[in-house]
Amino acid sequence: MTTVTLDALDLSALLCSRVCHDVISPVGAIVNGLEVLEDEDSAEMRDFALDLIRKSARQASARLQFARIAFGAAGSAGASIDLADAENVARGMFGDEKTKLTWSAPRALFPKNKVKLVLNLVVIAVTAIPRGGVIDVSITGEGDAPVFVLTAKGAYARIPPHVEKLIAGTPESGTVDAHAIQPFYAGLVARAAEMDVRFSIEGDTVTIRAEPAAAPAGDVEDVRDSDDHQDGGNGI
């Protein structure tokens, strides 16, 4: 398998395309609502337009706030992000009549890349239940060694096509487009955060588990050799 790499320009362009795709629909609805306000004298239609503008503005704001943390440089002045902020943007982005989001996590600051990873895994969990359902996010452990378990339960649940290879950085096509950039980016963030991501499915439930990457066997052996050397080679 060939690992795909993207240069900085291609990666930024594809992520920008992804964000634009997410916000263009509510922004377009706002424009439509404003046009109705300009052209209609009917009180009923004007009320409809105002309601459309309100809902679409909230949706656009929620999507931009989510993208700011999940894909952007939010909190760039520091190395940590509050998990409460991550919960708020996830609920704003995905909490609706179709999908229910539950969130269990400590009130704590976690390393930025680990928070970005869990938000990107929420995006993938949503795609695992195309008809909607319940997504449960559980975060345990300390910031330096957390465990994320996301379960997505709903009708027609499935591990999203190609997502495992995209996260591994080895897409079957050998290329990455704007449609595939989000799981590919999630894999980049997982490696930067030194986390392994695994998928499983049972019945109508997909489970995504992310935990600290295991140290290569050679690294463990090197540590043991170093300890033996410090103890005079007696292994005591």
Give me the domains of the chain, ranges plus CATH numbers: 8-229 (3.30.565.10)
Distance (Å, whole) CA 9 – CA 16: 11
The per-residue pLDDT for range 7-58, each reduced to its tens digit, is 999 999 999 999 999 999 999 999 999 999 988 888 899 899 999 999 999 9
Task: Provide DSSP, 201-219.
Answer: EETTEEEEEEEEPPPPHHH
The per-residue pLDDT for range 205-219, each reduced to its tens digit, is 999 999 999 865 555
Handedness of CA 193, 198, 199, 202 (dihedral sign): negative
Q: What is the pTM of this model?
A: 0.86
Q: Which residues contact 50 (CB under 8 A, 6 or more apart)?
A: 33, 37
Map residue 93 onto helix, strand or coil: helix
CA nearest neighbour of 63 among 124, 135, 11, 123:
123
| 175 torsion bin: left (phi>0), alpha (psi -120 to 50), beta (else) | beta
Distance (Å, whole) CA 20 – CA 55: 18
What does pLDDT average to in each consecutive run of 10 residues of the chain (236 residues)? Answer: 88 95 94 91 90 95 95 74 95 86 94 96 96 96 94 96 95 92 97 96 97 69 44 44
Map residue 50 onto helix, strand or coil: helix
Amino acid at the residue 25: S
The predicted pLDDT at position 39 comes to: 86
The predicted pLDDT at position 112 comes to: 94
148 C-beta neighbours (distance < 10 Å), count: 21
